[in-house]
Structure 1
Amino acid sequence: MPRPRSLTQDQLAATALAVIDRDGLAALTMRTVAKELDMSPMGLYRYVTDRDELEGLVAERVLDTVDATPPSAATPWRERIEIMVGRLRDGMAAHPGAVSLTVAHRHRSLGGLRWSETVLGILAEAGIDGGRRVVALRALHGYVTGAIQLEHLGPLAGEGTATIATLPKDRFPHLAETARSAGGISPDEEFFGGLRLILRGLDD
């Protein structure tokens, strides 16, 4: 007789996410998660069929924290999009090691689908439809993902940027000048500044 299930999928996802937060995505294996739960790797297969399903549970746990409630309709549509994108950024940035999982599984995550549905509704109200709406949603997803990964590589004015600032001005004048200016830009200024450039482009 099989042993009764005593582990919920939420507990399993929380344990897997804790492994990623502590040791990075490369450390996520069925064996590692099983060890954290003090069980055998084969025992873990009573709860998930494979690592892909485990990763999906992790993505759902992260994206389910993102508030998908539509902002007030009295707020201009660009500001509503900023609010929604800011929420997604906060939810994903809390677990940077799991960002790639949230991208890979976003179409199967109810949390991710709820966020997308709200954003698409705002875009529709703004008159952005058809292919433009598709491009807009994908651009927003891509922007958030890339921005989070860049933010967590280190400070904008970190060691890499400092090295660029010392490049020969005659060969890389624009890189050197931009790197010197980078230290005065906060992560929020960089993130929302880039986002506003994207949103303004939707009027083209």
Structure 2
Amino acid sequence: MSVCRTLSSTMPRPRSLTPEDLAAAALAVIDRAGLADLSMRAVAQELGMGTMSLYRYVPDKTGLEALVVDHVLSTVDTRPPAADWPDQVTALVHRVRDAIAAHPNAVPLTMTHRHRSPALLRWSEAVLEVLAQAGFRGERRVVALRALLGYLIGAVQLEHLGPLSGPGTAAMAAQSEFPLLAETATAGLGVPDGFRRGLDVVLRGLDGS
């Protein structure tokens, strides 16, 4: 038996990684250190491998980000409850919000990678099925889905990047040059469940569209 054959039979085989492995490692980096620290090198270190070896599985950092978004949303239940369509949509929207809220450092990725996430596409299909059964057709259904996506993504980002209880709202509340803005910001500091109430406004508008 040759030396080469002996070595090949005793050396461990290279680790085989799944997309879930990569996404979990990248998400661990984001949760611990923030989105700015996400890199191919950081994820490779998280996995205990060389950076160049990571390129066997994912082409670049953008690919990692897309995997993270899909990983975060993969647990979202896309089965609507037995209810009227506004309550069905409300449940579906809140499930995505809750999944994203569990990893606030990854919130910005939901905007930039929403079209690359099969999980979010499945969710969108579920919402469209609810809207179709409620009688939404053609352009009305297009507008409804875009309005719901726009509200969901925008409101979640505001909740985590510029919350009503945050310094931005407090600064606006202190404005004397813009009295209506100051009054509104002051009132906003104590608004309970602003996400649900804003979604109700969107749904009422869609119901009358």
TM-score between the two structures when normalised by the length of structure 2: 0.86
Is 1:106 equivalent to 2:114 in the alignment?
yes
- 2:187 counterpart residue number: 181
Quote the offset at 1:155 in angstroms.
Answer: 4.2
Quote the offset at 1:68 in angstroms.
Answer: 0.6
C-alpha distance in 2 between matches for 1:105 and 1:162: 31
Is 1:17 equivalent to 2:3 in the alignment?
no
Q: Which moved more, 1:87-96 or 1:4-13?
A: 4-13
Higher relative contact order (CA 8 A, sep 6+): 1
C-alpha distance in 1 between matches for 2:60 and 2:168: 39
C-alpha distance in 2 between matches for 1:27 and 1:88: 25
Which of 153, 163, 166 is 1:145 aligned to?
153
2:30/2:105 contact within 8 Å kept: yes
What amino acid does structure 1 have at the position aligned with 2:117? S
Is 1:196 equivalent to 2:200 in the alignment?
yes
Pairs aligned (count) = 198
Extract unaligned runs of 5+ from structure 1: none
SS of the residue 1:107 aligns to: helix
Quote the offset at 1:154 in angstroms.
Answer: 5.1
Change in CA separation of 1:43 and 1:89 when aligned onto 2, cut-off 3 Å: same
TM-score between the two structures when normalised by the length of structure 1: 0.88
Q: Deviations over 1:95-151 (max 9, x none)?
A: 222233333333332311221111001111111111121121122112111111111
Quote the offset at 1:7 in angstroms.
Answer: 2.5
What amino acid does structure 2 have at the position aligned with 1:136? A
C-alpha distance in 1 between matches for 2:61 and 2:174: 45
Which of 32, 56, 62 is 1:46 aligned to?
56
